[in-house]
């Protein structure tokens, strides 16, 4: 997605004169005001963006969704995205998973002293572009600077507000026996894109992160009248951990079929080299939906318009003890657990 | 404020077994779920708190305020507060300065690997206590962990949502000639409390931060029908910088009287030793209000109920070029500028 918009902006600060972030850029004085006035306000100005205190927003619904995420991904740039696009899509997706229409984001930076303005500017441009693609507005922000060695380039927090314009209740407690589990595309690309970079692995084709906004597809499902029971993006911990969380929260025994779970050949190969299981790899643009059996085909056709790899991977067997069973390609079954330990640190 | 509640909670995690934060506590697997389920959910559970994705909130107004702040204060604990209470009050105050009634906060941690659970637990308790004092609910959160040496103990982001239940417009553009400037109390204590700790200065009386929530006082002003023109908390950059920002944003020439600005004797002494001007020192529980002349006495009496040191420090002379003039104790006048450079890094 992030390559679809031809996006260019010139950095308005004389970054050749002051090429790096100084402690004073977070100090509340002239340099901070310069940074905000010249670098952030012109980019994010939209009639709502406020320099201080709070943005005032007039909503069209009293029912809102509110969420937050901090992003510490390392490295900052990776094939298919960077910390900036991720900070927008990740929070947009958390709102979408609650069935909300994402509208407004906050944007808070913790910058490390010595960060180059050129890098910071690239991230700002990506945030702008990603907010346009996902149709959300950045309306309020904050900038802090920590000493060199007390941070790691850029950390970003985005929080989000969305409105809920339907009467569905979307959460694990709504899950019923026989619900069908739809997966929105292939898994494992985000985590492997990052790990390949860290380990300096090279493949014939570059593995790109799946980092993308999910709100448009979710709103299409809602607008088509699909009676969605539960949605969840499969980020940290991967498909296996997320399914386990939902199984526990909904007291559901789920069964999924390994053969239906799409994984790119390059991702499979990288997982073998690195000793990972794609089921535990983080994604940044994939989600699962729990849909009543009789609406599954209709829902799937909407998923497939967005991504032909979307597929039904399994179903809710019974409402009992929460657990997840994987049936492998040979037909044998085993329980799959949540991620134990730290497989991929700082993946988001 | 933070000492007014007798607050005790026992840490539910076996912190003698795992005394420190591990990378896996941010990894999306079992350890992260343990941390959330055992340490965060029981403390912040309030019917709205969600473990994943978004909180769903039913508001009583369509007009909301939305704000964000990241907190990187160093050291984490200081006389009168800590990073936890500050992260609640700071964001509550940003909402209050927009005339909103703060209702909901998000809470996002960036923890450094190796952080002691005992420290983390103290911060969590303070957040809980501060949210009770300011009558806001923590409804959604996130936890990330970065490697030792890539963070600094704890960074916190809180974002906030409040509702606006009145028809006032409160911002710099509302400021009129003759408006009176009310200051809510003595200045300089927060910054000096931090600096004294860093420089290991000792005074006869410990200087305590003024860290406190301002929402109750602001709502009292609004409910009393005061026609508030502008509010601003005087944080980073101190009174001088904040006045300058407002002067520029409102094209107002302001004049303030040095003799009316309350500064504790210990703070004056510390400023002399450290070479600081109290006008540029950050506060965390003080604000200024721009009030029409004919309502100033009524407003001041409300301020004084909260803090007897609240006082009128000056007025808006004319709507022209934005600048701030200080009349000193001898009657001579000078223009005071915004903070230049970095006086006190990581003060909030």
Residues on chain A touching B140 (C-beta within 8 angstroms) = 66-68
Instruction: Please name the residues between 253 and 292 in chain A that touch chain B, using a CB distance below 8 Å.
Output: 280, 282
Question: What is the pLDDT of chain A when averaged over all its residues?
Answer: 93
Chain A contact set for B107 (CB, 8 A): 68
- Average pLDDT of span B155-176: 96
pLDDT of residue A13: 66
Q: For residue A66, what are the β-bridge partners?
A: A161, B55
User: B51 falls in which pLDDT band (50, 70, 90)?
Assistant: low
Residue B37, pLDDT score: 87
Which residue of chain A comes nearest to B144, CA vs CA? Answer: A70
CA distance B33 to chain A (A): 9
Cβ–Cβ below 8 Å for A339 and B237: no
Is residue A203 helix, strand or coil? coil
Interval A248-305: pLDDT, tens:
999 999 999 999 999 999 999 999 998 999 999 999 999 999 999 999 999 999 999 9
For B339, which of A27, A95, A160 is closest by C-beta distance? Answer: A27
Does B198 reach chain A within 8 Å, measured CB to CB?
no
The DSSP code sequence of A298-345 is HHHHHHHHH-TT-EEEEEEEEESS-EEEEE-TTS-EEEEPPP-S-SST
Q: Does A67 touch chain B (CB under 8 A)?
A: yes
Instruction: Give me the mean pLDDT over the B165-190 stretch.
Output: 97
The per-residue pLDDT for B301 is 98
Q: Taking the domains of chain B in order of start, what are their residue ranges? A: 23-163, 172-336
Yes or no, beta carbons of B30 and A339 under 8 Å apart: yes
Predicted pLDDT at A111: 98
pLDDT at A52 over 90: no
Domains A23-163 and A172-336 fall in the same CATH topology: no
pLDDT band per the 50, 70, 90 thresholds, residue A4: very low
CB contact under 8 A, A155 and B110: yes
Query: A341 CB near a chain B CB, below 8 Å?
Result: yes
pLDDT in tens, B180-238: 999 999 999 999 999 999 988 888 888 999 999 999 999 999 999 999 999 999 999 99
Establish if B183 touches chain A: CB-CB under 8 angstroms.
no
Task: Give yes or no for A89 touching B (CB within 8 A).
Answer: no
Report the complex ipTM.
0.94
> B7-50, pLDDT tens digit by residue?
567 777 666 667 899 999 998 888 888 888 888 988 998 777 77
What's the CA gap between B310 and B183, in Å, rounded?
Answer: 6
Residues B242-296: pLDDT tens digits?
Answer: 999 999 999 999 999 999 999 999 999 999 998 999 999 999 999 999 999 999 9
Using an 8 Å Cβ cutoff, are A283 and A188 in contact?
yes
Give yes or no for A94 touching B (CB within 8 A): yes
pLDDT tens sequence across B90-115: 999 999 999 999 999 999 999 999 99
What is the distance between the alpha carbons of residues B314 and A309, in angstroms, rounded to a whole number? 67
Say yes or no: B105 contacts chain A, CB-CB below 8 A.
no
A68/B57 Cβ within 8 A: no
CB contact under 8 Å between B54 and A31, yes or no, is no
Closest CA to B326 of B247, B270, B251, B266: B247
CB pairs under 8 A between A and B: 274
Distance between CA atoms of A139 and A54, rounded to whole angstroms?
Answer: 9
A253 beta partners: A318, A323
Helix residue spans in chain B (DSSP H): 30-35, 41-44, 83-97, 117-133, 189-198, 215-223, 238-250, 265-274, 296-306
User: How much is the pLDDT for B225?
Assistant: 97
Residue A6 has pLDDT above 50, yes or no: no
**Model confidence at A193: pLDDT above 60:** yes
Residue ranges of A 114-153 with Cβ closer than 8 A to chain B:
139-142, 144-147, 149-152
Indicate yes or no: CB of B108 within 8 angstroms of CB of A241.
no
Per-residue pLDDT tens over the stretch A97-138 = 999 999 999 999 999 999 999 999 999 999 999 999 999 999
The pLDDT value given to residue A79: 96
Rounded to the nearest angstrom, the minimum Cα separation between B318 and chain A is 23
CATH C-level class of B23-163: alpha beta
How sure is the predictor about B1, in pLDDT bands with cuts at 50, 70 and 90? very low
From A64, A25, A69, select the one nearest A159 (Cα to Cα). A69
pLDDT at B7: 59
End-to-end CA distance of chain A: 18
Residues of B in contact with A151 (CB under 8 A): 150-152
Gap from A150 CA to chain B (nearest CA, Å) = 5
The predicted pLDDT at position B16 comes to 61
Is residue A2 very low, low, confident or very high in pLDDT (cuts 50, 70, 90)?
very low
Q: Is the pLDDT of residue B343 over 90?
A: no
Contact: A66, B139; criterion CB under 8 Å: yes
Greater model confidence, A81 or A341: A81
Instruction: Give chain A positions within 8 Å (CB) of B149.
Output: 149
CB contact under 8 A, A57 and B68: no
DSSP state of B2: T
Q: Do A62 and B59 touch (CB under 8 A)?
A: yes
Eight-class DSSP state of A163 = E
Q: How far apart are CA A235 and CA A256, in angstroms?
A: 18
Write out the CATH class of domain A172-336. Answer: alpha beta
Interface probe for A, chosen from B66, B114, B235 (most Cβ of A below 10 Å), is B66
Is a pLDDT exceeding 90 seen at residue A11?
A: no
pLDDT, position A3 = 38
On the question of pLDDT at A142 being above 50, the answer is yes
Whether the ω angle into residue B80 lies within 30 degrees of 0, i.e. cis, is no
| Cβ contact, residue pair B140, A57, below 8 Å | no
């Amino acid at each position: 997605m992030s390559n679809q918009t031809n996006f260019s902006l010139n950095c308005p600060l004389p970054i050749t004169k002051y090429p790096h972030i100084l402690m004073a850029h977070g100090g509340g004085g002239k340099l901070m005001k310069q940074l905000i006035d010249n670098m952030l306000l012109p980019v994010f100005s939209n009639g709502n963006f406020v320099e201080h205190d709070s943005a005032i927003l007039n909503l069209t619904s009293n029912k809102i969704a509110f969420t937050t995420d901090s992003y510490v991904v390392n490295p900052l740039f990776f094939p298919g995205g960077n910390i900036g696009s991720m900070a927008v899509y990740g929070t947009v997706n958390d709102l979408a998973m609650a069935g909300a229409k994402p509208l407004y984001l906050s944007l808070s930076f913790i910058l490390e002293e010595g960060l180059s303005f050129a890098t910071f500017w690239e991230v700002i441009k990506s945030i702008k572009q990603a907010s346009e693609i996902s149709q959300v507005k950045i309306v309020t922000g904050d900038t802090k600077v920590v000493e060199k060695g007390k941070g790691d380039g850029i950390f970003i927090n985005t929080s989000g507000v969305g409105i809920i314009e339907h009467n569905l209740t979307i959460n694990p407690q709504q899950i019923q026996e026989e619900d069908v589990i739809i997966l929105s595309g292939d898994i494992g690309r985000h985590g492997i894109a990052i790990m390949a970079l860290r380990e300096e692995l090279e493949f014939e084709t570059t593995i790109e992160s799946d980092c993308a906004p999910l709100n448009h597809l979710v709103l299409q499902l809602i607008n088509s009248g699909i009676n969605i029971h539960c949605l969840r993006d499969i980020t940290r911990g991967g498909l296996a951990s997320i399914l386990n969380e939902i199984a526990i929260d909904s007291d559901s025994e789920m069964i999924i079929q390994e053969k239906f779970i799409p994984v790119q050949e390059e991702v499979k190969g990288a997982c073998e080299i690195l000793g990972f299981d794609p089921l535990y790899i983080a994604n940044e643009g994939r989600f699962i939906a729990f849909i009543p059996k009789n609406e599954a085909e209709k829902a799937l056709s909407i998923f497939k318009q967005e991504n032909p790899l979307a597929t039904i991977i399994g179903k809710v067997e019974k409402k009992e003890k929460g657990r997840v069973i994987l049936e492998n390609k040979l037909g044998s079954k085993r329980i799959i657990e949540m991620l134990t330990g730290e497989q991929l640190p700082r993946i988001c």
